[in-house]
A and B are shown apart, each in its own frame.
Chain A
Amino acid sequence: MTQILQIAAIAVATLGTSAVTMTVMKEDIPDLAVPEGGWKTGHELDGRSFEILGTDVASGAVLDNRITFRNGTFQSTDCQNYCNFGWSDYQSKVIDSVIHFTARTVCPDAPHTVVWYGRVSGDEVVVDGTWTTRRWYWTNQIVITATGADAPVAGDGASG
Protein backbone atom coordinates (compact mmCIF):
# COMPACT_ATOMS: atom_id res chain seq x y z
CA MET A 1 0.00 0.00 0.00
CA THR A 2 1.39 3.40 -0.86
CA GLN A 3 1.91 5.95 1.85
CA ILE A 4 -0.92 8.11 0.54
CA LEU A 5 -3.33 5.20 0.74
CA GLN A 6 -2.20 4.45 4.29
CA ILE A 7 -2.73 8.07 5.31
CA ALA A 8 -6.16 8.02 3.66
CA ALA A 9 -7.00 4.79 5.51
CA ILE A 10 -5.96 6.38 8.83
CA ALA A 11 -8.08 9.45 8.07
CA VAL A 12 -11.09 7.30 7.18
CA ALA A 13 -10.63 5.22 10.34
CA THR A 14 -10.42 8.38 12.44
CA LEU A 15 -13.52 9.90 10.86
CA GLY A 16 -15.43 6.62 11.07
CA THR A 17 -14.53 6.14 14.72
CA SER A 18 -15.55 9.72 15.42
CA ALA A 19 -18.90 9.21 13.75
CA VAL A 20 -19.54 5.96 15.64
CA THR A 21 -18.45 7.54 18.92
CA MET A 22 -20.81 10.45 18.42
CA THR A 23 -23.67 8.15 17.46
CA VAL A 24 -23.18 5.89 20.46
CA MET A 25 -22.08 8.32 23.17
CA LYS A 26 -23.98 11.49 22.38
CA GLU A 27 -27.15 11.58 24.44
CA ASP A 28 -30.25 13.02 22.84
CA ILE A 29 -32.67 14.98 24.98
CA PRO A 30 -36.31 14.75 23.91
CA ASP A 31 -38.28 17.91 23.29
CA LEU A 32 -41.01 18.97 25.69
CA ALA A 33 -43.69 16.27 25.90
CA VAL A 34 -46.95 17.95 25.00
CA PRO A 35 -50.13 16.19 26.20
CA GLU A 36 -51.76 14.35 23.36
CA GLY A 37 -55.30 14.45 22.06
CA GLY A 38 -57.74 16.78 20.44
CA TRP A 39 -55.32 19.28 18.88
CA LYS A 40 -56.64 21.24 15.93
CA THR A 41 -55.18 23.90 13.70
CA GLY A 42 -54.99 26.95 15.93
CA HIS A 43 -57.22 29.96 15.53
CA GLU A 44 -58.63 30.70 19.02
CA LEU A 45 -55.71 32.94 19.91
CA ASP A 46 -55.37 34.77 16.60
CA GLY A 47 -54.89 38.48 17.07
CA ARG A 48 -53.71 38.13 20.66
CA SER A 49 -50.33 38.81 22.18
CA PHE A 50 -48.87 38.13 25.64
CA GLU A 51 -45.98 39.62 27.57
CA ILE A 52 -44.41 36.72 29.44
CA LEU A 53 -41.77 36.55 32.12
CA GLY A 54 -40.00 33.23 32.15
CA THR A 55 -37.28 31.42 34.00
CA ASP A 56 -34.57 29.13 32.72
CA VAL A 57 -35.20 26.28 35.16
CA ALA A 58 -31.54 25.17 35.28
CA SER A 59 -29.81 28.51 35.71
CA GLY A 60 -32.62 30.62 37.12
CA ALA A 61 -32.00 33.24 34.44
CA VAL A 62 -34.99 35.47 33.80
CA LEU A 63 -36.32 35.62 30.25
CA ASP A 64 -38.52 38.52 29.22
CA ASN A 65 -40.43 37.71 26.06
CA ARG A 66 -43.53 38.37 24.01
CA ILE A 67 -45.55 35.74 22.16
CA THR A 68 -47.91 36.68 19.37
CA PHE A 69 -50.61 34.75 17.49
CA ARG A 70 -51.75 35.69 14.00
CA ASN A 71 -53.63 33.83 11.27
CA GLY A 72 -53.02 30.41 12.76
CA THR A 73 -49.36 31.12 13.35
CA PHE A 74 -47.25 31.84 16.40
CA GLN A 75 -44.10 33.81 17.06
CA SER A 76 -41.84 34.45 20.02
CA THR A 77 -40.07 37.79 19.87
CA ASP A 78 -36.96 36.46 21.63
CA CYS A 79 -36.74 33.47 19.29
CA GLN A 80 -37.13 35.81 16.35
CA ASN A 81 -34.35 38.05 17.63
CA TYR A 82 -31.98 35.18 18.41
CA CYS A 83 -32.44 33.07 15.32
CA ASN A 84 -35.05 34.44 12.94
CA PHE A 85 -37.55 31.64 13.63
CA GLY A 86 -40.30 33.40 11.70
CA TRP A 87 -43.98 32.48 12.09
CA SER A 88 -44.88 28.86 12.86
CA ASP A 89 -48.22 27.06 12.80
CA TYR A 90 -49.78 26.51 16.19
CA GLN A 91 -52.39 24.05 17.38
CA SER A 92 -54.97 24.57 20.03
CA LYS A 93 -57.85 23.03 21.95
CA VAL A 94 -60.27 24.32 24.56
CA ILE A 95 -60.82 22.43 27.80
CA ASP A 96 -63.13 23.93 30.45
CA SER A 97 -62.79 27.38 28.85
CA VAL A 98 -58.99 27.20 29.08
CA ILE A 99 -57.35 27.54 25.70
CA HIS A 100 -54.43 25.15 25.33
CA PHE A 101 -51.92 25.79 22.58
CA THR A 102 -48.75 24.21 21.34
CA ALA A 103 -46.23 25.13 18.68
CA ARG A 104 -43.05 23.58 17.45
CA THR A 105 -40.70 26.14 15.98
CA VAL A 106 -37.42 25.55 14.18
CA CYS A 107 -34.60 27.98 13.52
CA PRO A 108 -33.77 27.97 9.81
CA ASP A 109 -30.08 28.83 10.33
CA ALA A 110 -29.08 26.74 13.35
CA PRO A 111 -30.16 23.42 14.90
CA HIS A 112 -32.52 24.91 17.48
CA THR A 113 -35.98 23.48 18.07
CA VAL A 114 -38.34 25.15 20.49
CA VAL A 115 -41.50 23.42 21.66
CA TRP A 116 -44.16 25.50 23.39
CA TYR A 117 -47.13 24.39 25.44
CA GLY A 118 -49.32 27.05 27.01
CA ARG A 119 -52.63 27.49 28.73
CA VAL A 120 -54.61 30.72 28.35
CA SER A 121 -57.23 31.45 30.96
CA GLY A 122 -58.91 34.81 30.50
CA ASP A 123 -56.11 37.35 30.12
CA GLU A 124 -53.44 35.21 31.69
CA VAL A 125 -51.13 32.63 30.19
CA VAL A 126 -48.89 29.94 31.62
CA VAL A 127 -46.24 28.58 29.29
CA ASP A 128 -43.84 25.64 29.39
CA GLY A 129 -41.17 25.26 26.77
CA THR A 130 -37.93 23.61 25.79
CA TRP A 131 -35.22 25.14 23.63
CA THR A 132 -33.21 22.19 22.33
CA THR A 133 -30.02 22.62 20.35
CA ARG A 134 -28.79 19.51 18.58
CA ARG A 135 -25.22 20.09 17.48
CA TRP A 136 -23.22 17.25 15.98
CA TYR A 137 -21.21 16.94 19.18
CA TRP A 138 -23.86 17.49 21.87
CA THR A 139 -27.47 18.17 22.61
CA ASN A 140 -28.22 21.03 24.93
CA GLN A 141 -31.64 21.84 26.30
CA ILE A 142 -32.99 24.83 28.14
CA VAL A 143 -36.22 24.24 30.00
CA ILE A 144 -38.37 27.31 30.41
CA THR A 145 -41.46 28.06 32.44
CA ALA A 146 -43.22 31.39 32.12
CA THR A 147 -46.32 33.28 33.04
CA GLY A 148 -47.76 36.38 31.47
CA ALA A 149 -50.71 38.51 30.60
CA ASP A 150 -52.50 39.82 27.55
CA ALA A 151 -50.70 42.70 25.91
CA PRO A 152 -51.75 44.98 23.08
CA VAL A 153 -50.74 43.69 19.66
CA ALA A 154 -48.20 46.09 18.25
CA GLY A 155 -49.04 45.40 14.63
CA ASP A 156 -47.64 43.07 12.00
CA GLY A 157 -44.07 44.25 12.45
CA ALA A 158 -44.02 43.76 16.21
CA SER A 159 -42.52 40.33 16.01
CA GLY A 160 -38.97 41.50 15.73
Chain B
Amino acid sequence: MTRTGAGGVLLRLAILAAVLALATWGVHLIRDALDLQVRPDNEQQIHQAIMLGSVAYVGLLALPFVPGAEIGLAMLAAFGQAIAPLIYVCTVASMTLAYTVGRFLPISALERLLSFLRMRRAAALVARAALLSPEARLAMLLDGQPKRALGLGLRYRYVALALAVNTPGNSIIGGGGGIMMMAGLSGIFSPLATFLTVTIAVSPVPLAVMFLGLQI
Protein backbone atom coordinates (compact mmCIF):
# COMPACT_ATOMS: atom_id res chain seq x y z
CA MET B 1 0.00 0.00 0.00
CA THR B 2 1.38 3.45 -0.88
CA ARG B 3 1.79 6.19 1.68
CA THR B 4 -1.05 8.15 0.02
CA GLY B 5 -3.29 5.06 0.09
CA ALA B 6 -2.61 4.39 3.77
CA GLY B 7 -3.28 8.04 4.57
CA GLY B 8 -6.62 7.83 2.77
CA VAL B 9 -7.64 4.75 4.75
CA LEU B 10 -6.65 6.41 8.02
CA LEU B 11 -8.59 9.53 7.08
CA ARG B 12 -11.69 7.43 6.31
CA LEU B 13 -11.36 5.56 9.59
CA ALA B 14 -11.02 8.84 11.46
CA ILE B 15 -14.12 10.23 9.74
CA LEU B 16 -16.03 7.01 10.55
CA ALA B 17 -14.96 7.19 14.20
CA ALA B 18 -16.01 10.84 14.37
CA VAL B 19 -19.42 10.05 12.83
CA LEU B 20 -19.94 7.19 15.32
CA ALA B 21 -18.93 9.40 18.25
CA LEU B 22 -21.30 12.15 17.09
CA ALA B 23 -24.14 9.66 16.56
CA THR B 24 -23.63 8.18 20.04
CA TRP B 25 -23.57 11.64 21.57
CA GLY B 26 -26.77 12.52 19.67
CA VAL B 27 -28.55 9.39 20.89
CA HIS B 28 -27.65 10.22 24.50
CA LEU B 29 -28.94 13.75 24.02
CA ILE B 30 -32.23 12.44 22.66
CA ARG B 31 -32.57 9.94 25.50
CA ASP B 32 -31.93 12.64 28.09
CA ALA B 33 -34.43 14.92 26.36
CA LEU B 34 -37.09 12.21 26.34
CA ASP B 35 -36.49 11.55 30.06
CA LEU B 36 -38.28 8.24 29.70
CA GLN B 37 -39.10 7.06 33.22
CA VAL B 38 -41.36 4.14 33.99
CA ARG B 39 -43.81 5.32 36.63
CA PRO B 40 -47.00 3.84 38.04
CA ASP B 41 -49.09 6.26 35.98
CA ASN B 42 -47.41 5.53 32.64
CA GLU B 43 -46.31 1.90 32.98
CA GLN B 44 -49.34 0.59 31.10
CA GLN B 45 -48.73 2.95 28.16
CA ILE B 46 -45.03 2.05 28.09
CA HIS B 47 -45.94 -1.65 28.13
CA GLN B 48 -48.26 -1.16 25.16
CA ALA B 49 -45.62 0.85 23.31
CA ILE B 50 -43.03 -1.88 23.92
CA MET B 51 -45.40 -4.57 22.65
CA LEU B 52 -46.26 -2.52 19.56
CA GLY B 53 -42.59 -1.73 18.97
CA SER B 54 -41.66 -5.39 19.30
CA VAL B 55 -44.23 -6.51 16.75
CA ALA B 56 -43.10 -3.77 14.36
CA TYR B 57 -39.49 -4.74 14.98
CA VAL B 58 -40.08 -8.43 14.18
CA GLY B 59 -42.10 -7.59 11.06
CA LEU B 60 -39.88 -4.87 9.66
CA LEU B 61 -36.59 -6.58 10.40
CA ALA B 62 -37.79 -9.65 8.50
CA LEU B 63 -38.37 -7.61 5.35
CA PRO B 64 -35.54 -7.13 2.88
CA PHE B 65 -34.17 -3.60 2.54
CA VAL B 66 -36.25 -2.31 5.45
CA PRO B 67 -34.19 -0.73 8.25
CA GLY B 68 -35.83 -2.51 11.19
CA ALA B 69 -32.72 -2.92 13.34
CA GLU B 70 -32.95 0.74 14.32
CA ILE B 71 -36.17 0.02 16.23
CA GLY B 72 -34.34 -2.52 18.35
CA LEU B 73 -31.41 -0.19 18.91
CA ALA B 74 -33.79 2.62 19.83
CA MET B 75 -35.51 0.37 22.39
CA LEU B 76 -32.15 -0.65 23.82
CA ALA B 77 -31.13 3.00 24.00
CA ALA B 78 -34.37 3.98 25.70
CA PHE B 79 -34.74 1.14 28.21
CA GLY B 80 -31.20 -0.19 28.61
CA GLN B 81 -30.26 -3.67 29.68
CA ALA B 82 -33.70 -4.55 31.07
CA ILE B 83 -35.08 -4.77 27.55
CA ALA B 84 -32.11 -6.73 26.09
CA PRO B 85 -33.67 -10.21 26.48
CA LEU B 86 -36.80 -9.08 24.63
CA ILE B 87 -34.76 -7.54 21.80
CA TYR B 88 -32.75 -10.73 21.49
CA VAL B 89 -35.85 -12.91 21.35
CA CYS B 90 -37.50 -10.61 18.80
CA THR B 91 -34.38 -10.58 16.63
CA VAL B 92 -34.20 -14.37 16.62
CA ALA B 93 -37.93 -14.56 15.80
CA SER B 94 -37.55 -12.05 13.00
CA MET B 95 -34.54 -13.73 11.39
CA THR B 96 -36.23 -17.12 11.68
CA LEU B 97 -39.41 -15.72 10.15
CA ALA B 98 -37.48 -14.33 7.17
CA TYR B 99 -35.70 -17.65 6.69
CA THR B 100 -38.95 -19.62 6.96
CA VAL B 101 -40.69 -17.40 4.43
CA GLY B 102 -37.77 -17.76 2.03
CA ARG B 103 -37.50 -21.48 2.54
CA PHE B 104 -41.13 -22.53 2.37
CA LEU B 105 -43.05 -19.89 0.43
CA PRO B 106 -42.97 -20.55 -3.32
CA ILE B 107 -40.58 -18.07 -4.90
CA SER B 108 -43.22 -16.72 -7.31
CA ALA B 109 -45.64 -16.14 -4.42
CA LEU B 110 -42.92 -14.38 -2.45
CA GLU B 111 -42.12 -12.12 -5.38
CA ARG B 112 -45.81 -11.27 -5.82
CA LEU B 113 -46.18 -10.61 -2.08
CA LEU B 114 -43.24 -8.22 -2.02
CA SER B 115 -44.52 -6.48 -5.18
CA PHE B 116 -47.94 -6.16 -3.55
CA LEU B 117 -46.25 -4.52 -0.54
CA ARG B 118 -44.61 -2.08 -3.00
CA MET B 119 -41.19 -3.39 -1.98
CA ARG B 120 -39.74 -3.20 -5.47
CA ARG B 121 -36.08 -3.70 -4.53
CA ALA B 122 -36.92 -6.74 -2.43
CA ALA B 123 -39.12 -8.18 -5.19
CA ALA B 124 -36.33 -7.58 -7.71
CA LEU B 125 -33.88 -9.37 -5.40
CA VAL B 126 -36.17 -12.39 -5.20
CA ALA B 127 -36.79 -12.31 -8.95
CA ARG B 128 -33.03 -12.30 -9.55
CA ALA B 129 -32.55 -15.16 -7.12
CA ALA B 130 -35.30 -17.22 -8.76
CA LEU B 131 -33.16 -17.63 -11.85
CA LEU B 132 -30.07 -18.79 -9.99
CA SER B 133 -28.81 -22.09 -8.61
CA PRO B 134 -28.75 -22.53 -4.80
CA GLU B 135 -24.98 -21.91 -4.70
CA ALA B 136 -25.35 -18.79 -6.80
CA ARG B 137 -28.02 -17.53 -4.39
CA LEU B 138 -25.59 -17.92 -1.53
CA ALA B 139 -23.01 -16.06 -3.60
CA MET B 140 -25.47 -13.14 -3.70
CA LEU B 141 -25.07 -12.87 0.07
CA LEU B 142 -21.35 -12.51 -0.41
CA ASP B 143 -21.71 -10.01 -3.21
CA GLY B 144 -18.46 -8.33 -4.17
CA GLN B 145 -16.24 -10.84 -2.36
CA PRO B 146 -13.24 -12.39 -4.09
CA LYS B 147 -13.56 -15.91 -5.53
CA ARG B 148 -11.58 -17.41 -2.64
CA ALA B 149 -14.00 -15.85 -0.16
CA LEU B 150 -16.93 -17.26 -2.12
CA GLY B 151 -15.38 -20.72 -1.94
CA LEU B 152 -14.89 -20.40 1.80
CA GLY B 153 -18.41 -19.01 2.13
CA LEU B 154 -19.88 -22.06 0.45
CA ARG B 155 -17.78 -24.40 2.55
CA TYR B 156 -18.45 -22.67 5.85
CA ARG B 157 -21.83 -21.33 4.89
CA TYR B 158 -23.25 -21.02 8.40
CA VAL B 159 -20.25 -18.96 9.50
CA ALA B 160 -20.66 -16.86 6.37
CA LEU B 161 -24.35 -16.41 7.19
CA ALA B 162 -23.57 -15.29 10.75
CA LEU B 163 -20.95 -12.85 9.48
CA ALA B 164 -23.25 -11.49 6.78
CA VAL B 165 -26.05 -10.86 9.29
CA ASN B 166 -23.65 -8.96 11.54
CA THR B 167 -21.79 -7.03 8.86
CA PRO B 168 -22.34 -3.28 9.16
CA GLY B 169 -23.87 -1.89 5.99
CA ASN B 170 -25.44 -5.20 4.99
CA SER B 171 -28.57 -3.24 4.08
CA ILE B 172 -26.99 -2.89 0.60
CA ILE B 173 -27.62 -6.59 0.02
CA GLY B 174 -31.00 -6.67 1.74
CA GLY B 175 -30.24 -6.30 5.44
CA GLY B 176 -30.69 -9.08 8.00
CA GLY B 177 -34.17 -9.95 6.71
CA GLY B 178 -33.04 -10.05 3.08
CA ILE B 179 -30.00 -12.18 3.91
CA MET B 180 -32.07 -14.69 5.87
CA MET B 181 -34.76 -14.79 3.18
CA MET B 182 -32.08 -15.45 0.58
CA ALA B 183 -30.60 -18.16 2.81
CA GLY B 184 -34.02 -19.79 2.91
CA LEU B 185 -34.46 -19.43 -0.83
CA SER B 186 -31.08 -21.04 -1.50
CA GLY B 187 -32.30 -24.33 -0.04
CA ILE B 188 -28.79 -25.22 1.15
CA PHE B 189 -29.32 -24.15 4.77
CA SER B 190 -31.04 -26.72 6.98
CA PRO B 191 -33.69 -25.31 9.35
CA LEU B 192 -32.12 -26.57 12.58
CA ALA B 193 -28.55 -25.49 11.83
CA THR B 194 -29.78 -22.14 10.54
CA PHE B 195 -31.81 -21.59 13.68
CA LEU B 196 -28.80 -22.36 15.88
CA THR B 197 -26.67 -20.04 13.74
CA VAL B 198 -29.19 -17.24 14.18
CA THR B 199 -29.40 -17.68 17.95
CA ILE B 200 -25.63 -17.26 18.16
CA ALA B 201 -25.22 -14.67 15.40
CA VAL B 202 -27.66 -12.11 16.80
CA SER B 203 -26.52 -12.42 20.39
CA PRO B 204 -23.49 -10.07 20.60
CA VAL B 205 -25.28 -6.73 21.00
CA PRO B 206 -27.97 -7.85 23.51
CA LEU B 207 -25.41 -9.85 25.48
CA ALA B 208 -22.98 -6.93 25.55
CA VAL B 209 -25.77 -4.65 26.78
CA MET B 210 -26.88 -7.19 29.34
CA PHE B 211 -23.62 -8.45 30.78
CA LEU B 212 -20.99 -5.86 29.88
CA GLY B 213 -23.15 -2.84 30.53
CA LEU B 214 -22.74 -1.54 26.97
CA GLN B 215 -24.75 1.65 26.60
CA ILE B 216 -26.24 2.49 23.23
Enumerate chain A interface residues (CB-CB to B < 8 A): 3, 6-7, 9-10, 13-14, 17-18, 21-22, 25-27, 56, 58-59, 61, 63, 78-79, 82-83, 110, 112, 131, 133, 135, 137-140, 142
Check B37 against A61 for contact (C-beta < 8 Å).
Answer: yes
Partner of B83, one of A17, A63, A110, A137: A137
Decide yes or no: A22 and B89 within 8 Å by CB, A7-B104, A10-B195, A14-B96 being known contacts: yes
Partner of B88, one of A9, A21, A83, A142: A21
Q: Interface of chain B, helix or strand or loop or mixed?
A: helix
Partner of A10, one of B50, B79, B100: B100
B47 at the interface (CB under 8 A from A): yes
Check A56 against B37 for contact (C-beta < 8 Å).
Answer: yes
Task: State which of B38-46, B115-123, B147-155 sits at the interface with chain A.
Answer: B38-46
**Assembly CA distance A160 to B91 (angstroms):** 42
**Shortest beta-carbon distance from B172 to chain A in Å:** 27
Partner of A21, one of B89, B100, B195: B89
Complex interface: chain B residues within 8 A of A140 (CB): 38, 43, 82
**Assembly CA distance A21 to B84 (angstroms):** 10
Complex interface: chain B residues within 8 A of A26 (CB): 85
